Structure 1
């Protein structure tokens, strides 16, 4: 039985080191900012930043749907960038099939961008 337990020792060590590093890299900055930083909330710090509506108000209130459109477009083009990096690295393995698959993907995204532009999703009044 001790032989089986010794096989799990590297896994337990890995988990322990991972937990220790996560506590150091997450907990230490929070602790240091709490000790050193100043917490002086004022009107400018508590004002709406990107959304344009008060953060703490009635949850049933209506707000402009364009915020969702901008967020969706951001996610789409962020995912495009996330797909382009591994594709560029592995292009020599995928060859022409990989090249044309990515060109089709980019063409579909371009069509989506043109459509969003055409219907006015990118216009801000």
Structure 2
């Protein structure tokens, strides 16, 4: 029984080590741009809208208003979603240094540049 438990512990430790060394793939900016380019298939458009919206929604939900000043301020009425995505695709093409960067961070950077907050 002890040998069995030791073997299970060794397998668990090795498994944890293998998982710790596993590289998690993130979506690159170029991959997102390729999906968001128009005209897009319904599936690509849905993915693009879902991804970019979730990045922005995560920003809104995780930024603590008393501890972190906003850096993205979209004035209402907000521009059309497809217009902002087309601007992002164009902007990313003009900034090729972002192509291999994680898309979520680049989307936030783009939104901060496109919708900066005024000084209060």
One fold, TM greater than 0.5? Answer: no
Sort the TM-score into its range (normalised by shorter chain).
under 0.3
**Which structure shows the higher helix fraction?**
1
Over alpha carbons, which structure has the higher Rg?
Answer: 1
Q: Which of the pair has the greater relative contact order for Cα pairs under 8 Å at 6+ separation?
A: 2
What TM-score results when the alignment is normalised by the length of structure 1? 0.27
The normalised TM-score by structure 2 is 0.28
